[in-house]
Amino acid sequence: MGYDFDTVIHRRNTESVKWNAYPEDVLPMWVADMDFISPEPVLRALHERIDHGVFGYPGKSPGLTEAILQWLQARFHWEVHPEELLIVPGVVTGINWACHALAEPGAGVLVQTPVYPPFLAAPKNTGNQLITTPMVPGPGGQYEVDWDAFEAAASQKPQLFILCSPHNPLGRVFRRDELERMGEICLRQGITICSDEIHADLVYPPCEHYPTATISPEIARNTVTFMAPSKTFNIAGLECSFAVVPDPELRRKLNAGRKGLVGWVNLLGLVAAEAAYREGAPWLDSLLEYLRNNRDFLVETLRREMPQISMPTPEGTYLAWLDCRTAGIPDPYHFFLEHALVGLNDGREFGPGGEGFVRLNFGCPRSVLKEGLDRMKAALERV
């Protein structure tokens, strides 16, 4: 079956954060929100529930639980038991929940920068100490863990390590040996891992995503994994995600910390998630091919037409981390906003290591991506 990812969908005045943040002459290519219609099975399931006409408080959803477990087994060869699953209204909510429930007030929380900004905010929100360690460019241009810095940070005995895997904004898909080494350091230092794997389904061959909890039974018992259909199937606004928590004591702590803070998931989010996981795989496979071609188009366009900007080729996600430090534009975010009318993410929001960078979302029709790059090229030519 063919899927249309080329049609441009009008999204202004649709309560879209992405499209309403800037004036109408600005092309938004920032927040991780794709400009594609969600899979038809998701739309059909939502229409059926709306036609039912009653939207009371939702309870447990055995159908969704079954669909998630089957998805994890099929995609990642990961056997998860129903009792290990906790349904959550959003991964960012989950990250803050984990800091609240699993780290004592004032304890350290470790993150690798540059990183998704809510990782930097969550420890501060819960009265914890933020400890950062850098991801650094390797010989081939891809970012790597700075192992000496990671060991040094871990030796400060933080109680929680928030891992972004696949990594946002760097597009890295960690190898199994990297996850094993991070996991073993955390085990040795008594650090619980909170692994944000919201982009797990958006990985390009030959890379392969390994859920952190599949590395070893010991690492599984020390890990809380957050996943969601939101990025995968473009249903972020429906706020449905889940945590996989194999260890009963970690589940107990999380459930105790949930009271009064982390409520139920939106009814339509539950419906959409189940439909996506049951019937969305063919759509996702086509999407990945389209995104891979967008990625390659972006890489080639920068190489050929804007060589003063470089980027590591994303191994996963639909986000590109653009290095503008040699382009003669000290503030690339404001430069492209004001001179190209393109709205990107300011690299400085991602913490240390983000200065001189912007993040670009290529999860859009090819024509939109080309327009944005054409605007950026024209602005650079006027420098």
- What confidence tens digit (pLDDT) does each residue in 131-145 have? 999 999 998 889 999
- The terminus-to-terminus CA distance of the chain in angstroms comes to 46
Domains of the chain, residue spans: 17-39+281-381, 45-279
User: How far is CA 172 from each of CA 8, 162, 254, 320, rounded to the nearest angstrom?
Assistant: 28, 15, 29, 10
CATH number of the domain at 45-279, please? 3.40.640.10
CATH topology of 17-39+281-381 equal to that of 45-279? Answer: no
Take residue 260 and report the two structure tokens written for it.
């009064």
Query: 17-39+281-381 belongs to which CATH class?
Result: alpha beta
pLDDT score, position 140: 84
User: Strand 319-323 and strand 342-343: pairing?
Assistant: unpaired
pLDDT score, position 373: 98
pLDDT score, position 1: 63
Distance, in Å, from the CA atom of 34 to the CA atom of 21, rounded to the nearest integer, reads: 15
Q: What is the full DSSP assignment across 259-314?
A: TTTS-PPPHHHHHHHHHHHHH-HHHHHHHHHHHHHHHHHHHHHHHHH-TT-B-PPP
For residue 200, the one-letter residue type is: A
Which stretches of the chain score pLDDT less than 50? none
pLDDT tens sequence across 294-351: 999 999 999 999 999 999 999 999 999 999 999 999 999 999 999 999 999 999 999 9
User: Strand 319-323 and strand 192-196: pairing?
Assistant: unpaired
Beta strands in the chain (DSSP E): 27-28, 85-88, 108-113, 129-137, 143-145, 160-164, 192-196, 223-227, 241-244, 319-323, 342-343, 345-346, 357-361
Distance, in Å, from the CA atom of 260 to the CA atom of 233, rounded to the nearest integer, reads: 29
